[in-house]
Amino acid sequence: MWEYSEKVQEHFFSPRNAGAVDEANAVGDVGSLACGDALRLSLQVDPETEVILDAGFQTFGCGSAIASSSALTEIIKGKTLDEALKVTNQDIADYLDGLPPEKMHCSVMGREALQAAVANYRGEEWKDDHEEGALICKCFAIDSVLIEETIRNNKLTTVEDVVNFTKAGGGCSACHEGVEEILTRVMAESGQTFQPSAPAPVAVAIPTPTAKMTSVQRIRKIEAALDAIRPNLQRDHGDVELIDVDGKNIYVKMTGACAGCQMAAVTLEGIQECIINELGEFVRVMPAELMPRAERAHG
């Protein structure tokens, strides 16, 4: 059984705006082959103000497809067409307090129906440019098409590359077999052979340090490296804090959205690389939880 939020269930059992709008002057029909869902959105638009006066949906689809359609009509009623076009599939999912990763495409279908209806109203032709593949990474809802394209465009050759570029496989790692299969297939297109055991050496060129730094200098450099990374983390509503430096071991604390994030390990690797570059020596960056117990007790 899917884990549907209360809101999804409520919109499925009591859908709003079901059925066609009688005086519709904009209609959008879309479907998703991935799941056989199809949706017709009909709108009554005020020709003067372009405000959506009424919206109705007809959906052939599962519980979340019906709930997403219902949510979409509620969100866009009263908006102008231009305002409505700013509604993203994430807005639809958020309105429903989230959707299971496998079901995010239902919200995508809602956004596409809206685009199709607006195009219909304006006498334009709407083309679906969104291709959907089999869901590979369930932690981050990444499908095969996105992974394939990213591998092709960036000439990726390892699972680690795919994790770094797409996030796919960066969580529970259960999909790594699937990712390896895609790598094998895409690399074969350009005559390459995927090497699963390829020793992917962390290609970090270690500059020779000019002179031995004092502890204070080292810590300042480490702080500088962290400051450089910080804006990237804050963009994802997270942050990092330096806890201790013990020889080659640097302990940091991930905070905000970074705390408990499934990508934390990948992020730590990135931080480590930056600090190594800054210091010109090899160090190991670890979460503060891994600090030896006695030190934590005293610290």
Q: Do 60 and 38 contact (CB within 8 A), yes or no? A: yes
Q: Using CB under 8 A, pick the residue from 61, 169, 170, 238 that binds other proteins.
A: 61
Beta bridge partners of 9: none
Q: Which residue among 106, 258, 261, 274 is the active-site one?
A: 106
Determine, following the binding rule CB under 8 A, whether residue 299 of this chain makes contact with other proteins.
no
| Stretch of 33-41, 151-159, 207-215, 270-278 contacting other proteins, by CB under 8 A | 33-41
| Stretch of 26-34, 74-82, 224-232, 263-271 contacting other proteins, by CB under 8 A | 26-34
Question: CB-based contacts of 274: which residues, under 8 Å, 6+ apart?
Answer: 225, 228, 229
258 is catalytic: no
Which CB, 100 or 270, lies closer to other proteins?
100
Q: How far is CA 188 from the centre of its chain?
A: 27
261 is catalytic: no
Per-residue mark of binding to other proteins, 189-218 (x: CB under 8 A): ------------------------------
With tokens 């959008």, the residue in question is 28
Separation CA 107–CA 256 (nearest Å) = 27
Determine, following the binding rule CB under 8 A, whether residue 130 of this chain makes contact with other proteins.
yes
Report the C-alpha dihedral over residues 157, 159, 163, 164, rounded to 10 degrees.
-40
Separation CA 235–CA 118 (nearest Å) = 32
Catalytic residues: 35, 106
Q: Which residues bind other proteins (CB under 8 A)?
A: 9, 12-13, 15, 18-19, 29-40, 57-66, 102-103, 116, 126-128, 130-132, 134-135
